[in-house]
């Protein structure tokens, strides 16, 4: 039976629905992953869960060891990766509480260790990244959301910012002109590293707030937490359907 990895983001530090079998804290050539790996079952499917920001949630987006995380999941035998991603909504239909399965990425991050292909190479490697998310896995996530009775947006351009601060209104206006529908801080280099390891990867974006300048007033942590709690509950429903699907 194949093993599916879940990377939990802000609002999803533990996957309490898993029937836990074991935990492992693997070493990798890149150091330790953000958290121990939790192996378990959900609806008779095998999963391995990793908390992207650590457990407890203490690692900010720019300090996450993305290489160790992806390496550890690959080494554990994962055959696909589903990433949960808290985001701000930019596009008109991306209001708080929305679930979206993005299809494209624009990377605005800098200074992150973003490739496995840099040291000790016998040839320079350029992965194809035209479609950053695995289309088959994306469609399975969309079908699972619909089977769970959830409304989900098929597609969206995810803009990945450096953080940990939120964006200015002008930065969001520029991202909108660039074509971004969603803004988050952790989608890259995660997606690219998964591709380098030939791990099919797709994300479920959970909209926590309107992005800067898209609604009146400041963005508050209380607002983010409130919408994320609801969105993550929906994401779990999606996962349960995914786990039960053939």
> Would you tell me which residues interact with ligand HPA (CB under 6 A)?
86-88, 161, 166-167, 183-185, 208-209, 211
Q: How many CB atoms lie under 10 A from the CB of residue 99?
A: 21
Confirm or deny that 186 is annotated as ligand binding: yes
**Residue whose CB is less far from ligand HPA, 53 or 140:** 53
Confirm or deny that 110 is annotated as ligand binding: no
Token code pair at residue 215 = 């609604």
**Residue whose CB is less far from ligand HPA, 5 or 211:** 211
Confirm or deny that 123 is annotated as ligand binding: no
Q: How many CB atoms lie under 10 A from the CB of residue 244?
A: 14
CB of 170 to ligand HPA, least distance (A): 14
CB of 13 to ligand HPA, least distance (A): 15
Token code pair at residue 108 = 């605005």
**Residue whose CB is less far from ligand HPA, 101 or 185:** 185
- Which residue has its beta carbon closest to ligand HPA? 88
CB of 214 to ligand HPA, least distance (A): 9
Burial 59-96 (b: 16+ CB within 10 A, else e): bebeebbbbbbbbbbbbbebebbbbbbbbbbbbeebeb
CB of 82 to ligand HPA, least distance (A): 18
Burial 210-239 (b: 16+ CB within 10 A, else e): bbbbbeeeebeeebbeebbeebbebbbbbb
Confirm or deny that 44 is annotated as ligand binding: no
Cα–Cα distance measured from residue 68 to residue 28, given in angstroms and rounded to the nearest whole number: 6
3-state secondary structure of 59: coil
**Residue whose CB is less far from ligand HPA, 37 or 182:** 182
Binding-site residues for phosphate: 10, 52-53, 186
Binding-site residues for substrate: 185, 209-211
């Amino acid at each position: 039976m194949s093993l599916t990895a879940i990377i939990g983001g802000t609002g999803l530090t533990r996957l309490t629905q898993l029937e836990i079998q074991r935990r492992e804290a693997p070493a990798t050539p890149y150091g330790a992953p953000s958290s121990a790996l939790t192996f378990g079952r959900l609806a008779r499917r095998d999963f391995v869960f990793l908390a992207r920001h650590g457990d407890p949630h203490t690692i900010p987006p720019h300090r996450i060891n993305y290489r160790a995380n992806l390496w550890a999941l690959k080494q554990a035998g994962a055959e696909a990766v589903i990433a949960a991603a808290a985001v701000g909504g930019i596009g008109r239909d991306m209001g708080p509480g929305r679930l979206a399965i993005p299809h494209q990425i624009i990377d605005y991050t800098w200074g992150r260790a973003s490739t496995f292909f840099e040291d000790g190479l016998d040839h320079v490697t350029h992965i194809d990244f035209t479609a950053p998310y695995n289309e088959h896995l994306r469609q399975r996530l969309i079908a699972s959301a619909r089977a769970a009775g959830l409304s989900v947006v098929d597609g969206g351009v995810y803009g990945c910012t450096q953080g940990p601060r939120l964006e200015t209104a002008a930065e969001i206006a520029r991202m909108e002109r660039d074509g971004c529908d969603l803004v988050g801080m952790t989608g890259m280099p995660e997606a690219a590293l998964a591709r380098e390891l030939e791990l099919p990867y797709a994300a479920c974006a959970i909209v926590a707030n309107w992005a800067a300048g898209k609604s009146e007033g400041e963005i508050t942590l209380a607002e983010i937490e409130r919408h994320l709690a609801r969105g993550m509950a929906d994401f779990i429903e999606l996962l349960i359907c995914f786990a039960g699907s053939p």
